[in-house]
Structure 1
């Protein structure tokens, strides 16, 4: 309001100054008139600039308004009092040496090699299946309240023995690149102890985008870059007929309780029996390349000829639960 008054005064100043000079008996010299006009105008201008600085609101990062091609949340009305939504994107297995996995995963947690070998008997000896997820969260809601869509990606480590019982499988997710400006999503992940990095995504409103004129059919691209740090992750996948890993393996690790600092666990139940993905509808096998420069890796890594799935699933999420409550967990059916 104060700035508005000053703006009006500045606009009206030439007229007011002319009237004052014309009718004031002591202001009859041209020099005095000009000095008065300049001095008063500059004074108003300085006050206006100072008031703009004092009352200005710090700029904030705002979410772009965009439209996604993701399918609607099919279970929102079935579970109105739970957090539900859809996850659309690409999940792939990143084989890394078991010795490297042992260095990356905190030493107090064991690795349940027998658990993943029971699902993947032919997985190479001395190797561990790290996971990349490049996902777009769509129509996330609970109790009738819906939040804006957002994207996220990171490298995760399943089949971790968080409780030390040699049996219960957990997934360690230490870091995430997430949509910048989406404070609900960023804070929600950070509360688990996750290293969160506000990032820009390509595409900004979807799980991936087609690559035009690609030699390989169904080629899609996805990338995320931290706004302030070195962290980045990109994927380039094409359709394949090869089934390197069975769907049961993906169902298992995507539904493992997830943790970061081990204080609480996230129970995200991915559903493979809804209209989005029932009977493998909408699930595509893909093969491609992943580049990642994100904690806990010390430098950028590239994986070529990795296999995964491009899919859309509905989910139910239960947040900040006791990890102990999942003792004995092996899979969700």
Structure 2
């Protein structure tokens, strides 16, 4: 993303020039990574690709709070998300939380790979960045990224996103199993900011419905991303992949998020609905935001 989406990965120029691309971290040498390999690296060999194995969750906040948080120069396209979620409560806004592992990132045509990294952040979708009353963008103002991947940190900062270098638990996966089928994911910033994130989610019990269908997550994770609005990141997340079908199908979950990462603060962090899902992605970095005019957030991501 600049929030992510890789959101933040790394400008193509940086990918080609940095010697860091040819390294793997010591942590990855000693850690057992559960995520599956990147299945599209050769198919899109001239473009950065990878996988994002993540917990996604929707955190409803009041529209008034959203309006206070989101820069006043940007309108919120309320009609766009209500068309997708007609039962969503009135006067509320859906914040997206993403936490997980960016894995097996490659620029295959050049035999280049990027070390895995973890991240946590809030994303604010359905933003009218271009002022056309139509095109949906996602604002990613701040996130936490693995402290040992300076490249990913710098890539996110290039979009104007505030980034906190972070130590995560578990060390090299998208989440860890607790007793039973619950999962957890935690992060603590390595500076003196005190920024932290803690997640714990469990699969929905039989008969409990998820108010946010997979199509909605597909929509919001495929919106172009910006930080300060000078450049945009387009990350195409594939929801029709072998990584998220059959035995690897998305798992609807419900749980709690505790974090003081700005700008959300502590509102709306109680029980929230989410999804465990692994998606391949194709990344287009450093784009002119105006070139993405017309996006409604309805793309398939395929």
Fold shared by both chains (TM-score > 0.5): yes
Tell me the distance in 2 between the aligned counterparts of 1:292 and 1:319. 28
Tell me the distance in 1 between the aligned counterparts of 2:83 and 2:202. 28
Q: Does 1:88 pair with 2:53?
A: yes
Give the TM-score taking structure 1 as reference length: 0.78
Q: CA deviation at 1:144?
A: 1.7
Residue 195 to residue 296, structure 1, CA distance change in 2 (3 Å) = same
Q: CA deviation at 1:234?
A: 1.3
Contact 2:170–2:176 under 8 Å retained in 1: yes
In the alignment, which of 299, 303, 324 is matched to residue 269 of structure 2?
303
Residue 300 to residue 230, structure 1, CA distance change in 2 (3 Å) = farther
Q: CA deviation at 1:63?
A: 4.9
Residue 111 to residue 279, structure 1, CA distance change in 2 (3 Å) = farther
In the alignment, which of 164, 173, 180 is matched to residue 197 of structure 1?
164
Contact 2:61–2:268 under 8 Å retained in 1: no
Residue 132 to residue 280, structure 1, CA distance change in 2 (3 Å) = farther
Give the TM-score taking structure 2 as reference length: 0.85
In the alignment, which of 237, 245, 250 is matched to residue 278 of structure 1?
245
Range moving further from structure 2, 281-290 or 195-204 = 281-290
In the alignment, which of 128, 135, 141 is matched to residue 100 of structure 2?
135
Pairs aligned (count)? 267
Give 3-state SS (helix, strand or coil) of 2:172's partner.
coil
Q: CA deviation at 1:163?
A: 0.5
Unaligned runs of 5+ in 2: 1-24
Over 4 Å off, 4+ runs: none
Tell me the distance in 2 between the aligned counterparts of 1:144 and 1:253. 31
Q: Does 1:261 pair with 2:228?
A: yes
Instruction: Give 1:244's aligned residue.
Output: 211
Contact 1:289–1:302 under 8 Å retained in 2: no
- The structure in which a higher percent of residues are helix is 1
Q: CA deviation at 1:137?
A: 0.4
Residue 131 to residue 275, structure 1, CA distance change in 2 (3 Å) = same
Tell me the distance in 1 between the aligned counterparts of 2:291 and 2:26. 36
Give 3-state SS (helix, strand or coil) of 1:310's partner.
strand
Greater relative CO, 1 or 2 (CA 8 Å, sep 6+): 2
Contact 1:163–1:324 under 8 Å retained in 2: yes
Instruction: Give 2:3's aligned residue.
Output: none
Q: Does 1:328 pair with 2:294?
A: yes
Unaligned runs of 5+ in 1: 1-61
Contact 1:292–1:302 under 8 Å retained in 2: no
Give 3-state SS (helix, strand or coil) of 2:82's partner.
helix
Contact 2:237–2:280 under 8 Å retained in 1: yes
Q: Does 1:75 pair with 2:40?
A: yes
Tell me the distance in 2 between the aligned counterparts of 1:267 and 1:68. 26
Q: How does 1:1-333 map to 2 (within 5 A)?
A: 63-64=26-27, 65=29, 66-142=31-107, 143-212=110-179, 217-228=180-191, 229-240=193-204, 241-278=208-245, 281-297=248-264, 299-301=265-267, 303-330=269-296, 331-333=298-300
Give 3-state SS (helix, strand or coil) of 1:185's partner.
helix
Q: CA deviation at 1:301?
A: 4.2
Tell me the distance in 1 between the aligned counterparts of 2:268 and 2:135. 30
Tell me the distance in 1 between the aligned counterparts of 2:154 and 2:56. 24
